[in-house]
Amino acid sequence: MTPTRTDRPAITISTNPRAGTLAASIAGQTLTRALTVVNGKVGERLTAEVAAQTGGVALAGAAAAGLASPIDVKSTAYNPLPNGTGNGLSAFYYALLLLLAGFTGSIVVSTLVDSMLGYVPAEFGPVYRFAEQVNISRFRTLLVKWAVMVVLALLTSGVYLAIAHGLGMPIPLGWQVWLYGVFAIIAVGVTSSSLIAVLGSMGLLVSMLIFVILGLPSAGATVPLEAVPAFFRWLAQFEPMHQVFLGVRSLLYLNGNADAGLSQALTMTSIGLIIGLLLGGFITHLYDRSSFHRIPGAVEMAIAVEHQAQYQARQSARESSSEQP
């Protein structure tokens, strides 16, 4: 004990709400509880040491209180989120909209293109009609759908950005957010279109499973990945929604730093786009080579042409053998 006044040592807990408000809250509460326990243990030890030095003389109330709680524990938010971010959820909802634009957009594009090419009926109110069928391969049909998805992505990302700006959401990197939105919508839309082209109607269910059902719990946006079961943490390594969320969060909250998730988002989104292109292109080309045509009667026609070619080959062989002496 000294007669002079001493300052209490301070420990400051700095949380980063831009990495996730719930994650920052959990981390802050956990560290505060831990330091409270440490503060109490240190206070008990100091009180015992002072009592031993003073021979058990009773201390003043202020001195006893200072010894019982010697550490000043403070909690503060480092670089807090600005207004208009929905308590840190704007990045998640924006990423979700990008995923839905790619997923639902691929369904709409597939239906419209198929109806325009005459493979499914087109309905306009009470009007129900089939367009004249176009003789086009599965692969070229998929190329048309991909091209339409690119145009749709350019427009949709711009509309999203305009709506977000109109609602007052802070967007420090507008062009970058628009470009990544276009990229994410194209990647999801191309992959979903490929699944529909390869699996047919089952592709809708598979796309919904990949992009929505498994994507929401593994996004790591509303609930940090450290607080979810291990299965969802494993899914987050490759699930599209988590990758898109990382990219959007980095652009909206973290100044677009590559180490803050943008680099991973760009890499994984590129991988997903390449997988979608290769899957759709290879399988549809294989379908075309295997004569799995979409035009009614095309399979029978292909078989007839093949039989005719074989018959002509046999006839030519017979004529050649008969001409020989």
In a domain, residue 101? The reply is yes
Residue pair 150/166 in contact by the 8 Å Cβ criterion: no
- Do residues 47 and 158 share a domain? no
Residue pair 138/287 in contact by the 8 Å Cβ criterion: yes
Query: How many domains does one find in the chain?
Result: 2
- Do residues 109 and 20 share a domain? no
- Do residues 154 and 71 share a domain? no
In a domain, residue 305? The reply is no
In a domain, residue 70? The reply is yes
- Do residues 54 and 111 share a domain? no
Nearest CA to 184 among 90, 108, 271? 271
Query: Hey, CA dihedral for 192, 189, 88, 32, is it positive or negative?
Result: positive
- Do residues 111 and 207 share a domain? yes
pLDDT cut 70: percent of the chain above it: 76
In a domain, residue 307? The reply is no
Q: What's the domain range around 273?
A: 90-299
The pTM of the full predicted model, rounded to 2 decimals, is 0.77
243-290 pLDDT, tens digit per residue, is: 999 999 999 998 888 988 899 999 999 999 999 999 999 999 999 888
* Whole-number Cα distances in Å, 180 to 31, 143, 251, 286: 36, 22, 9, 32
Residues 195-221, mean pLDDT to the nearest whole number: 91
- Residue 298: pLDDT band (50, 70, 90) is very low
- Do residues 126 and 178 share a domain? yes
CB within 8 A of 13, min separation 6: which ones? 28, 31, 32, 35, 73, 74, 75, 76
Amino acid at residue number 126: P
- Do residues 201 and 133 share a domain? yes
- Do residues 191 and 218 share a domain? yes
In a domain, residue 217? The reply is yes
Q: Give the C-alpha separation, 145 to 143, whole Å.
A: 5
Q: State the DSSP string of 194-262.
A: HHHHHHTTHHHHHHHIIIIITTTTTS-SSS-GGGS-HHHHHHTTT-HHHHHHHHHHHHHHSTT-GGGTH
pLDDT at 295: 62
In a domain, residue 3? The reply is no
In a domain, residue 319? The reply is no
Residues 105-124, mean pLDDT to the nearest whole number: 87
214-247 pLDDT, tens digit per residue, is: 999 998 888 888 888 899 999 999 999 999 999 9
Between the ranges 68-77, 225-234, 292-301, where is the mean pLDDT highest? 225-234
